Every structure is written in structure tokens, then in C-alpha cells.
Amino acid sequence: MFAVWITTLSLLDAARGGQVCYKRLGCFTDNPPWSGIPERQLAGLPSPPEAVNTNFLLYTRDNIMKYQISATNTSTIKASNFQIHRKTRFIIHGHLAGADFSWITDMCRFMFHVEDVNCILTDWRGGSSGLYTEAVNNVRIVGAEGKDLFLTDKDYGYSPAKIHLIGHSLGAHAAGEAGRRKPGIGRITGLDPAGPLFQYTPTMVRLDPSDAKFVDIIHTHAGHLFFDFGILQTCGHLDFYPNGGKTMPGFNLSYLDFSPEYRSVGCGHKRSLQYYAESIITPNGFVGYQCETYRDFVSGACFPCPKEGCPLMGHYADKFSHKTGKEQQKVFLNTGPLPPYARKCSFWVLQMMLISKVTMNSIRTNTSLAYRNPQQLVSGVQHKIWSFTCVRNMHYQHYPGNAEIIIETDQLMGTSFELKALLNFVNEVMTLKIL
């Protein structure tokens, strides 16, 4: 993928002002903001719909094997297992889906374990398998094709509010294009929306909160560089940044390590798909905390959850949709390096004030955990803080007269644990050991 993207950088087309028109889908130009702006200098027009070859593959509990439906042939919808009483979730793949395609189709089957839905895979590999810049231009065709299908659904009395578009990479912006063309879409989920040629572009070009009633984003390979395949800026009502949104645990690749795995998936770019798939069958697994920055989150400044609760990353993010009073809310959480990725992460800051006379066995403390009552910590004794299973990181700082310990913990869902700590003092320097 990297080699393909670098090649596209040299394909600068100075001629602009072109236009192509296609029956059913309308006209497309390469005028600004589609090209010729600082964030998108490359010009180009989308390929013909026949070349993009957008197919809609319907899966339901009644037919777990694909069934193709078409906006231009309504008899295919009438003959299918599409039911108007169900929600409809579209999954839209990104650039060079290829090897990941069968894995993406499995997401529909995950959904059938927890809900009865119409699950439609939007297959546009004909338009996404070439140069990245060509695929970027073809996003508009995919969005227009989707809007055409939505209009057909309307003829059956199907409300767009029951439609959920799930797009990965370029597929996220295709979902945004469909939502821009068809107001009233219920929800769009962007799985690490593509960054190159979309970052900081006008909202008409990229996914943004106006494209649906509720837009949630998962950032997993975000950044400002061309090597960062995901978009860094907020572009939804809720933007989730697991592990800070840039580097995912379990990958040790640098920007200079162009291994086959890096080239094919962009390191953490595909991880957003895996997080979403796991979230379908882990309803309370990916709890996020609203924060301004990841540094604030790591410091423990964003705990505990407010009265209205904390949002959930992934499939069940819409449980929090009625509580989003504003757009572009940042949400942070941590995940594990390997499946299962879901962790209930907690950061507790223990501010321990040293008193005039300290013994080897105990210290009087003020804690900023779930409450602020003084608590006695004794070596070798279990102390119920809240519930967590293991300590990932512990940061210790000692100052004259006080000490601060920041403990980051992971909790696997459905488990509980009591902290067992050993306090030691050597030359008035306190250390804490988790037993």
C-alpha cells in the first residue's frame, strides 16, 4: 500500500474544471473543494459506475450466505429476505480490501448473534483496488450509489433513520457522502476514516457530524503524516481515541519498518475493524472516558464517569447518542494488545501524605479514588479500592513530605479483584509493591 500511495503523489494533474455526468447518479466535477485546495492538490474525476461496480450484498439470519440486491432492479429487493421492521446496517470497506474481504463479511454474522438486522456489505472493489488517488475520487460514486438504494428503500416505506452505515478507511468517507446526499440517516460509524487527502478538508469532502443524526468515530492510526493512514481531527459527535488513537498495542513497527504487514494494513489501521467486531459481542467492554487529551486521561484527570455514564466505543455507542449535547467530543480508553481487546481501564491517583512519624507497616493516606475518606493501608493486607485484575503501569514520584503513585489497571469484564499492596520505607522513600 505504501508504494502505491507514494506513486500517487507524483501524479499531479494541473488541468481542472472537468465534469462527468452519469445517469441516475448525477454530475461530478474536480473543482474545489474536490481538488485544488491546500489539503487536496491532486485533481481527478471518479471512474464510471460500471468500473467502480458497486454491489450490495444482503445478509440476514434467514440467509447467512450473500444475496445481491440492486437499486436499479427492485425485484431483487422484493425477492430477498430484506425486512422493513429491521434496522439495516451497511458495511463499506476501504482501499485495497482484497485479503480482508472475507473477514469483513464475518461482521454481519457477529451481528446475527445479538440482533435481527438487515446487514448489507457494500462491495466496491472495482473502484478501490487501484491507485489511492483513484479510489479517493471513486468514494463519491459509492456514496451516490448508496443514496440511490436508500431512495428505493423509501418506496417500501423504510425510514432512513433506521439505517446505520459502518465505513472503514475510505469507506467511512463514502458513508459520509451517502449521508450528505440523503439527509436523515440514523447513524454513521467511521472506522479509522482515511486521512490522506481528507484531513482538514471542507466538510463536503469528508465525513462530518452533519452526515447523520449520530456519527461516531474510532481512530486507530491517526496522524498528520502521509504514513498515518487515519484522520486525526475530530469528525463525529463522539470521537474515540483508543490508546491515544495513534499507535495500538501489539504493534512494534516504526514508520521506517516497511514490512509486508505494515504495507498491507497500515499497522493499526485495520485494528479499528477488529475493535468494532469484538464490541458487537462485548456490550460493555469498551468503556470510554471523555477528556481533552490522552495525557489528561493517562493522568487520571477524567475519572470517574459522570452521572449520565460513560460512552461505549463500537457497536453500542448509540446508547450514548441522546446524551451528546455537542459535536466533536473526544473519548479515550485503553485496550489490550491481543484479543480479547476489551478492557475496563482505570487510572487511580493515590496521593499519600507522609506524616511526621512513619512506621514500616502503615501510613495514613488521603485517596482520590471513588471517595476522599482517609484510609489505612497496611502491608500484606488486602484493601478494596474498586475492582480490577492487574496493574499495567505504575508511575512513582517522591517529593519532600509527600508521594504520588499513579496506577493504571486493566479489568477484564465480569471479574473483580482486591488490591494487595506492600508498603516499604527505606531512608524515608516510600515504595509500593503489588503482590
Known catalytic residues are 169, 192, 269
User: How far is 230 from 1, CA to CA, in rounded Å?
Assistant: 14
User: How far is 263 from 179, CA to CA, in rounded Å?
Assistant: 30
Query: What 3-state DSSP class applies to 46?
Result: coil
318 appears as a binding residue in the annotation: no
Non-local CB neighbours of 89 within 8 Å, separated by 6+ positions: 108, 111, 117, 118, 119, 120, 164, 165, 166
User: How far is 177 from 304, CA to CA, in rounded Å?
Assistant: 37
410 appears as a binding residue in the annotation: no
Tell me, what amino acid is at 291? C
User: CA angle, 365 as apex, 360 and 371 as ends, to 5°?
Assistant: 145
User: CA angle, 181 as apex, 179 and 186 as ends, to 5°?
Assistant: 30
86 appears as a binding residue in the annotation: no
Non-local CB neighbours of 67 within 8 Å, separated by 6+ positions: 57, 58, 59, 80, 81
Q: What is the dihedral of CA 391, 394, 398, 403, to 10 degrees?
A: -40
User: CA angle, 172 as apex, 166 and 174 as ends, to 5°?
Assistant: 105
Query: What 3-state DSSP class applies to 70?
Result: coil
What DSSP letter does each residue of 143-196 carry, written as one string? HHHHHHHHHHHHHTT--GGGEEEEEETHHHHHHHHHHHHSTT--EEEEES-B-T
Is the Cβ–Cβ distance between 79 and 128 less than 8 Å?
Answer: no
Q: Which residue intervals of 219-335 are DSSP H helices?
A: 260-265, 271-280, 294-299
26-29 and 19-22 as β-strands: parallel, antiparallel, unpaired? antiparallel
Radius of gyration of the chain (CA): 25
Q: Which residues are annotated as a binding site for Ca(2+)?
A: 206, 208, 211
